[in-house]
Amino acid sequence: MSVSNECSNTRSAHPSADKQGTLGYPMKFKGQDFELLRNLCLISGYRFRDGIFPSNMDSIGPDLLTAEELRRVEWVRAGSQHKNPHLFVHGVSRFDIHQGKVGNCWFLAALGSLTFAPRIMINVIPSDQGFTKKYVGIFHFRFWRFGKWMDVVIDDKLPTLDGRYLFVGPANGNEFWPALLEKAYAKVCGSYSDLHSGLISEALVDFTGGVHISFNLTKPREDLWEIIQRAAAHESLMGSGSHSEPGVKPVNTVLKNGLVQAHAYAVTGVNMVHCGNKNVKLVRLWNPWGNTEWNGSWSDKSPEWNNVDPETRKLLLRDCDNGEFWMAMEDFTANFTQIDICNVYPHFLDSGNDCIWAMSEHNGSWIKGTSAGGSLKEDTFWKNPQYRVNLKTAHLDCSSSTSFNFVVYLMQKLANKHRKQSLRLHIGLSIFKHCDQKEKFSAEFFSSHQPIPSYNVGSLGVIEFFQLEPGEYLIVPSSYNKDQECDFFLSMYSKTNHKEKMDSDLNLQFSQLSVSHVNSHMKVFAKYSSQGQEINANDLQRLLNDSLKGNISKTGGFSFDACKGILAVMDVSF
């Protein structure tokens, strides 16, 4: 017998609203409280069974298995087939990960990169769990989702087919952190099937809550090598995607050079070696399959290694089919489309220690008829949310390594609980230089002013880099077509000299212009909603009781059951 999540409605005291969704106080995904659920299981003597992400075909999802295979699937506890299961064995390594049946190389490549960033890894995998002390079959993991950190609870039942793990299994026989983390991410995305196909940048951002930058390798920047070096030194998460044939659906084709077509790889290292009379820039990559490697220059058995100092060769070269390999920088840029770099802050853009980055962030919405004005080509563009940014001291010379001193990132929030079914709009950013004005800018302003040039259209997320003089700026996030509704998350990073006083606004003053009553209500909704554009009974209870603070001493406020009743009357799923 197992204990399910019936008790998940029991809640502990809530932190203040401004702390909710931070790493210290992550939102409880679907209202499940890890500590309360584990304690209930410890008291009752039963193991946890997750009724929200149950051990059935709904959690596996469509199109991965045939009907006959689905009937043969068995869900087993992670430790039931092993005498001595562990969450970790000798720490974490990308070699702990072997891809299973779902095509989620994008997620696993990001996971492999995560193993090189222990300060970030500890945010994703809390240390208060395992298979020994207090083990009752419950685990939890944390992901940053559209502006909020989420604590995701799972049980440790994993799907098997004919005795073999369907998805990521324990590479060393008894180490389960990759399999359990994959299950938690599948729960967040809706099912294991929802992990099929994606961009590595999605997972990189979900692991860090930071800024993601993608560099095109077709025409690489002159300083790209230096940027990658700095990114590695700052424990940045990095990944890359191999070329695909235009118009051809990827089918895991292995090319003659050993690379998998249209495949995601983790970037796990950079180094420069002396070979003959020249220095060679090398990039190390890892294939989440755990095998199948590049066989060209500087591969495991390449003769180039014979011309390298023996000590250096011993340090860098691992001649085994583990999916990891070195390749020269020029081969890397010729065979891969882009490199994605992600970190909490964009420190890797700077070569020295003279600069720090201030951050400001905001949640907003495009609402049909009110604030969904569409792109600049629409005469309703002015209706989009507008944000004023005052760069008080935009430092142009605190670092000579890059020409950027301002970074802005826009991300749309996926509303559907299933990742693959969510509508992804084409979104963009426009930034204008303007004089000091507190009111919202009208259509006349946009018809007579051009935005600062940038490439600003993308799907799910858009990031822009600027070199800006001190002054007032206007930022307008928009979807390509008007009247397309969606929530979004906007963050900005501004560079300044580290000698300045570190206060709340640093050199970045940020405010929204002329928020309408509708937008104000949507802002309140977004503040309390833990499920995108949906609200559950727990969220409603917090919203109502926080709104009535000081006036509920006699009644005790709205109960959870009362809020369930309100939602039931409104015919809203909770």
Strand ranges, E, within 276-422: 278-286, 324-328, 336-343, 355-366, 387-391, 406-413
Residue 66 burial class via C-beta count within 10 angstroms: exposed 0-12, middle 13-18, buried 19 and up: exposed
Catalytic residue, from 287, 343, 384, 538: name it: 287
- Give yes or no for a contact between 267 and 225, defined as CB atoms under 8 angstroms apart: no
Catalytic residue, from 98, 263, 362, 395: name it: 263
Strand 406-413 relative to strand 486-497, pairing: antiparallel
Identify the DSSP state of 102: S
DSSP codes, 63-84: TSS-HHHHHHEEEEETTTT-SS
Measured CA to CA, the distance from residue 502 to residue 358 in angstroms comes to 9
- Give yes or no for a contact between 338 and 215, defined as CB atoms under 8 angstroms apart: yes
Residue in 125, 286, 121, 107 with CA at minimum distance from that of residue 203: 107
Residue 364 burial class via C-beta count within 10 angstroms: exposed 0-12, middle 13-18, buried 19 and up: buried
Q: Which residue has the tokens 């079914």?
A: 421
Q: Which residues contact 329 (CB under 8 A, 6 or more apart)?
A: 225, 281, 282, 283
Determine the length of the chain: 574
Q: Is-catalytic flag, 287?
A: yes
Backbone angles phi, psi at 112, to 5 degrees: -60, -40
Q: Is-catalytic flag, 84?
A: no
- Give yes or no for a contact between 475 and 430, defined as CB atoms under 8 angstroms apart: yes
Catalytic residue, from 105, 189, 355, 486: name it: 105
Please state at what angle helix 537-547 crosses helix 517-528, rounded to 10 degrees. Answer: 120
Token code pair at residue 59: 């959690």
The CA-CA-CA angle for residues 81, 83, 86, to 5°, reads: 90
- Give yes or no for a contact between 55 and 157, defined as CB atoms under 8 angstroms apart: yes
The CA-CA-CA angle for residues 469, 470, 471, to 5°, reads: 110
DSSP-H helix ranges across 365-502: 443-448
Q: Is-catalytic flag, 481?
A: no
Please state at what angle helix 105-114 crosses helix 177-189, rounded to 10 degrees. Answer: 130
Which positions are catalytic? Answer: 105, 263, 287
